[in-house]
Amino acid sequence: MISEILGGVGLFLLGMTLLTEGLKAVAGGVLRDILTRFTGGPIRAFLSGIALTVLVQASSATVVMTIGFVSAGIITFTQAISVMFGAAVGTTSTSWLVAFFGLRYSILVIALPVIGTGALLRVFGRGHTSSAGMAIAGFGLMFLGVGTLQEGMRDLATRVDIEAVAGATTSGRLLLILIGMVMTVVMQSSTAAVATTLTALSTGTIDFQHAAALVIGHNMGTAVHAAIAAAGGSVPARRTALSFILLNIFSGVLAFFALPLWLGALTGLETRSGLGPPLMIAIFHTGINLAGVVALLPLMSQYAAFIARLVPDQAQSLTRYLDTTLLSMPSVAIEAVRRTVVEAGITLIPATRSVLDPDNHRRLLAGSLETVSAASVEGRRFLGRIRTSPDNEKEYNRHLGVLHSADHIDRLLEALYDPPDAETIRADATLREVAASAEQGLRIALSWLEAGGLTDAPRMEPLSLDIAERRRNHRPVVLERTASGQVDPEVGLQVLDAMRWVDRAVYHVWRATYHLDRADDNDRDFNEVFEDGPTKRNVISRASVKVKTR
């Protein structure tokens, strides 16, 4: 009996894991698209949370994914709350699946062939076919687990009297809710806990009111997943997790006080429809979550403000997106680093412009360099922990793009630690003109970064090429003036160094924005080669100016 129950739960959990991982792999970028393209207002975000959870068949996966996305700044905190609400409703879909198919029909007879078919696809298939095979095998294992559970529960029903442990009293219902919470925590899956309860109900081990109280406990126990996912995470991650935890607690408390009404309504519905107690519990599971959402959704702004007060924000930092919980989702982790690099650029470009403008020389340098330097160290560590495969070409190229852009920001940072003197820029007319042109170009690049890179990156390549050409042509002129005594040798060398500095700074800003543009996760073509030098369209022009100092 015990071995059958444990084995059934184990098979169900294993099946759920394979099903979830397989569906996530098959869905691929669809999951990210759901969260980023369909999370405009609260209702759309709520529906996207339902869709995402139904797709992956696990609210815990949606919780972890959403926490990662809000930590990376991809979606807002308010949108994340709505997605959490959707996840709470979407997770009940498995209850319907088990109640309607697993318990109403003898699906066990086809479970083994389904497992076999899925296993063969997993072993011999490639890409999405292999992932689909894993999902199919998981589906079969789930119902094999349900069938094994039924056998164990039938035996348990003859040996255990649940009524003697927890009757129809308030204290008895509270005890069942506690048992339901413990089941969810131990199994690490509210879905598996609900499936166990539905199976016990179908075999007569427990009655309808016992099952309803247990489901309330399962629902409240789901909050543990959110707490674990957000442990040690960023402020947005902890806020998102807390919103999910409080929703489950609120829905559970609401369901507990309304339980007599629910029991009366569902008993009448079951009598009229003849659908059976397990389906009534599935309706109850969806209903209590939906009731909590309906009560809170109109108060979204107040709910978000309440959560924000409970988890106050800390001082903004360049590394606030670099949450270690994102490392399990490489595409989201890459986006977090990309946003960090963007903010580093927003900090460094004004400092660079202040060097190029003699009237504001060094005005913005103080503090900026140390801030970016500290963030750069942490960013490199974070990047070093991200793993992508060349087989996933788009994600791999985005990873490369972020690496390149981060490297160019680091090189710009190095240059800013040794800027040219303001008097040197004032002393040479050509250098003043080049510095002015560079300053205007950097202003456009800064505007693009501040706008979040929503449009194509500014074309800084022509400016960089022009400055490189002017630097090359100006060098012999300065040397001739120095040789003829028109320019002091020390001043001449300083002018040449300053011209090289301007050329270098503009080049790194160009390459950083270029790679950031291509690391942005949108529908553009990422097949273009990410190389730390000329692109195909400018190989000839770069070669013609023979830039050697970059």
Q: What is the CATH number of the domain that holds 412?
A: 1.20.58
Q: Domain count of the chain? A: 2
In a domain, 22, yes or no: yes
How many residues are given for the chain?
A: 550
For the residues of 472-502, what is the DSSP string, one character each? HHHHHHHHHHHHTTSS-HHHHHHHHHHHHHH
Give residue 291's pLDDT: 93
- Same domain, yes or no, for 124 and 175? yes
In terms of pLDDT, which residue wins out, 454 or 239?
A: 239
- Same domain, yes or no, for 251 and 105? yes
Residue with tokens 């029991």: 263
The average confidence (pLDDT) of the chain is: 79
In a domain, 317, yes or no: no
pLDDT 10s digits, 191-248: 778 888 888 888 888 888 889 999 999 888 877 766 776 666 677 778 888 888 899 8
In a domain, 305, yes or no: yes
- Same domain, yes or no, for 280 and 374? no
pLDDT of 485 strictly over 70: yes
For the residues of 287-343, what is the DSSP string, one character each? HHHHHHHHHHGGGHHHHHHHHHHHS------TTTT--GGGGGSHHHHHHHHHHHHHH
- Same domain, yes or no, for 195 and 66? yes
Give residue 76's pLDDT: 79
Give residue 430's pLDDT: 92
In terms of pLDDT, which residue wins out, 405 or 91?
A: 405
At which of 252, 285, 310 does a domain end?
Answer: 310
- Same domain, yes or no, for 338 and 262? no
pLDDT of 163 strictly over 60: no
Average pLDDT over residues 468-489: 91
Backbone φ, ψ for residue 444 (5° rounding): -65, -40
Q: CA nearest 92: which of 209, 231, 251, 256?
A: 251
Confidence of residue 98 (pLDDT cuts 50, 70, 90): confident
- Characterise 177 by phi-psi region: left (phi > 0), alpha (psi -120 to 50), beta (else): alpha
pLDDT of 373 strictly over 90: no
pLDDT 10s digits, 40-65: 677 888 888 888 788 776 676 777 77
In a domain, 550, yes or no: no
pTM assigned to the model:
0.62
At which of 286, 310, 334 does a domain end?
Answer: 310
Q: CA nearest 404: which of 279, 519, 537?
A: 519
Token pair, residue 249, equals 């607690």
In terms of pLDDT, which residue wins out, 138 or 292?
A: 292
Give residue 544's pLDDT: 33
In a domain, 427, yes or no: yes
- Same domain, yes or no, for 292 and 332? no
- Same domain, yes or no, for 255 and 330? no
pLDDT of 21 strictly over 60: yes
Give residue 298's pLDDT: 85
pLDDT of 502 strictly over 90: yes
**3 state SS of 73:** coil
Highest mean pLDDT, choosing among 19-33, 91-105, 429-443, 512-526: 429-443
Structural domain for 27, as ranges: 2-310
Give residue 496's pLDDT: 93
CB atoms within 10 A of CB 82: 28
- Same domain, yes or no, for 355 and 301? no
Average pLDDT over residues 92-96: 84
Percent of the chain whose pLDDT exceeds 90: 19
Going from the C-alpha of 229 to that of each of 207, 328, 386, the distances in angstroms are 34, 11, 18
At which of 252, 283, 310 does a domain end?
Answer: 310
- Same domain, yes or no, for 376 and 408? yes
In a domain, 502, yes or no: yes
Give residue 511's pLDDT: 92
pLDDT of 162 strictly over 70: no
Residue 11 Cα to chain centre, angstroms: 29
How big is the CA angle at 161 (ends 160 and 165), to the nearest 5 degrees?
110
In a domain, 220, yes or no: yes
- Same domain, yes or no, for 262 and 331? no
DSSP H or E run through 6: helix 2-27
Residue 356 CA to residue 335 CA, distance in Å, equals 31
In a domain, 41, yes or no: yes
Residue 1 CA to residue 153 CA, distance in Å, equals 7
DSSP H helices, 125-222, are 128-157, 162-165, 170-187, 190-202, 208-221
pLDDT 10s digits, 177-192: 998 888 888 777 777 7
Among 346-360, 470-484, 525-539, name the one with the lowest average pLDDT.
Answer: 525-539
- Same domain, yes or no, for 366 and 304? no
- Same domain, yes or no, for 361 and 284? no
